[in-house]
Structure 1
Amino acid sequence: MIRWFKRLTCAFRREDGTAAMEFVLAVPLLLTIFMASFESGLLMIRSIMLEQSVDMTMRELRLGHYTLPDAALLKKEICTRTVIFKDCQANITIEMTRISTANWALPTTGVACIDRSEEIQPVTALQIGQQNDLMLIRVCVVQDALFPTTGIGLGLPKDGHGGYGVISTSAFAVEPS
């Protein structure tokens, strides 16, 4: 028993493995920070690309370049301008509502995003306004996180398959023709 105890104390006093211990303790923390920063950068790029494509598409709509636009046309136009989204047309929802200038009542519900774990998808309104109407457009594209268990990926609200919604909101006044 004493022999075993002496070997154990000698093993604890050895210093030849100290660099390995520092490596084992420091590298997971550094990797977590790297993955969190990469995920937040990707989220920002996706958000900016969606904002730009929605603004460009709504400008084309406002100027009258689309005759009788429907949801499929707007989805196609937004998705062709955002090259970073995977399977964009299947994961996008567009809601366009007219805002009354009499009481300025904005929608009280959140943006409806697709839940890929359910068969039934949210119903969104696509109202085409008349001259001088104020239109509010809300777009949501569901994308998967690269590192869902680290950093910003943990804090994002996700659907049943682990995807988070990238949301863009825009408004415009319908120009008189």
Structure 2
Amino acid sequence: MIRTLAKILRLFRRSEEGSATVEFVLVFPMFMVLFTSAFEAGLMMTRHVMLERGLDMAVREVRLNTGAAPSPDQFKEMICEGAGIIPDCMNNLKLEMRPIDPRNWSNIPRSADCVNTNQPFLPNRNFEAGTQNQIMIVRACSLFSPFFAATGIGFDIPRYSGDFYALISISAFVMEPI
């Protein structure tokens, strides 16, 4: 009986059948995590670039338009038109605009104010129209759901307000005189 078992084990050890399957099972999960992480990082980067573009276009419009300052909803609409790729932009975007004293930067909160999905109707933290020659800072925060939430970079992204991650864009400008 022991000889038979030893013979079977010897044959099993010499056999090369299934070796490709073992390699595949060991390597495939790593490649899938790499692929999903690359896809998630590319999507996140594209969304962030488009948010930056939308904010820059809206800030340019506000800065050069010497008429009345836009309301928060009008400003959001300008950003969403320029961003294009942001899903449900008007509901997932929260703005903050405030004047800045160039000699005292301490009045700017360190964390951005994002949409709270548990309480979606909370007002903007601060949205003040500036006066002539005043330095203004604008922060836009938009929430996104990871495409592959359980793998790779989608798993490691810091979450905000449930299962979302936040992308924040900041711009500063001077209100032009009339």
Decide: shared fold, TM above 0.5: yes
Q: Is 1:62 aligned with 2:28?
A: no
C-alpha deviation, 1:174, in angstroms: 0.5
Structure 1: distance between partners of 2:73 and 2:6: 75
1:173 matched to 2:143? The reply is no
Match of 1:130 in 2: 131
CA distance in 2: counterparts of 1:31 and 1:96, whole angstroms: 42
Asked if 2 retains the 8 angstrom alpha-carbon contact of 1:92 and 1:140, the reply is: yes
C-alpha deviation, 1:160, in angstroms:
4.2
Count of residues in Structure 1 that have an aligned counterpart in Structure 2: 177
CA 1:146–1:129: 2 relative to 1, 3 Å: same
1:14-163 matches, within 5 Å, as: 14-64=15-65, 67-119=68-120, 121=122, 123-163=124-164
Between Structure 1 and Structure 2, the one with more helix by share is: 2
- Contact 2:97/2:128, CA 8 A, preserved across alignment: yes
Computed over aligned residues only, the root mean square deviation of the Cα atoms, in angstroms, reads 2.1
1:68 to 1:174, Cα distance in 2 relative to 1, 3 A: closer
Amino acid in the other structure paired with 1:80: E
Which residue identity is paired with 2:78?
A: E
TM-score using structure 2 length? 0.88
Where structure 2 has 5 or more consecutive residues not aligned to the other structure, the ranges are none
Query: SS at 1:85's partner residue?
Result: coil
1:89–1:65 CA distance, 2 compared to 1 (3 A): farther
- SS state of the match for residue 38, structure 1? helix
SS of the equivalent of 1:93 reads strand
Task: Tell me the CA shift for residue 6 of structure 1.
Answer: 5.5
Amino acid in structure 2 at the alignment position of 1:151: G
Q: Which amino acid aligns with 1:44?
A: M
Q: CA deviation at 1:39?
A: 0.8
Contact 1:75–1:94 (8 Å) recurs in 2: yes
Question: Is the Cα contact below 8 Å between 1:131 and 1:174 reproduced in 2?
Answer: yes
Deviation per CA, 1:127-157, whole angstroms, max 9, x where unpaired?
1010110000000010111112222222222
Q: Deviations over 1:32-77 (max 9, x none)?
A: 1011111111111111111111011000001116633111111111
Unpaired runs of at least 5, structure 1: none
Give 1:85 deviation, angstroms. Answer: 1.1
Letter in 1 for 2:162: H
Contact 2:62 2:69 in 1 (8 A): no
Select between 58-67 and 30-39 the one with higher mean Cα deviation.
Answer: 58-67
Instruction: Give me the whole-angstrom Cα distance separating, in 2, the residues matched to 1:51 and 1:102.
Output: 26
